[in-house]
Amino acid sequence: MVYQDARGVHHLTGRLADTAVPTPIFAGQSRYVALHQNGVQITDTKTWATVSIPGAQQLHDLNKGGIVVTTATEMLVLDHLGKTRMRLPKDAADDTYHLRPDGRRLVVIRGRETRVETFDLKNGKRVSSVTPTFPGDDFLEVGLGWSKQGAFLVRGYESERVYSLDLATGKLRRRDR
């Protein structure tokens, strides 16, 4: 597989059999290219440095703050050199993980319970655990990550409305468009 930009063609892999082609994932406006198959390999398209994460089964988030993957048994937050910054036991297959772009906080949405937990990556401690209450019969469908203003955004299932979630209190504020 190759990556082509204005600076030329860059090889991401060597020759591959048709059955061995990894799935590419682009992040950070194509700053990072992740290849997923039997682990994850991430290439920084600015420096062409590559980090391999063997055993990674799913890539959850990739931004300038770091990398979030799950293995068969745990969730890992890594820096761009592949050093583990935080790890948590994997709770459920439908949990989702969102790393703040500055790398200071991790939000975990516990899928079964729609509970939202926030962790401080500096010490690995949970700083809050909230269950947002949506208007009417609506409930949490998905976390959308952080806005440019720094608020964590979520979407309701029934209404498909986007809200800013106060991670300390669980209060929702309807997002202005």
The CA distance from 140 to 106, in Å, is: 18
Give phi and psi for 167, each to the nearest 5: -70, -20
Tokens for 155, please give them: 């979407």
Look up tokens 């920084």; give the residue. 44
Q: Name the pTM for this structure.
A: 0.86
Task: Encode 95-112: b = buried (16+ Cβ within 10 Å), e = exposed.
Answer: bbbbbbbebebbbbbbee
Residues 6+ apart with CB under 8 A from 24: 1, 12, 33, 34, 35, 36
The CA distance from 53 to 23, in Å, is: 15
pLDDT tens string 14-56: 888 887 788 888 888 788 888 888 889 999 998 999 999 999 9
pLDDT tens string 126-155: 999 999 988 888 888 899 999 988 899 999
Residue 174 has pLDDT above 60, yes or no: yes
The CA distance from 171 to 36, in Å, is: 36
The domains found in the chain, sorted by start residue, are 2-131 (2.130.10.10), 132-177 (no CATH)
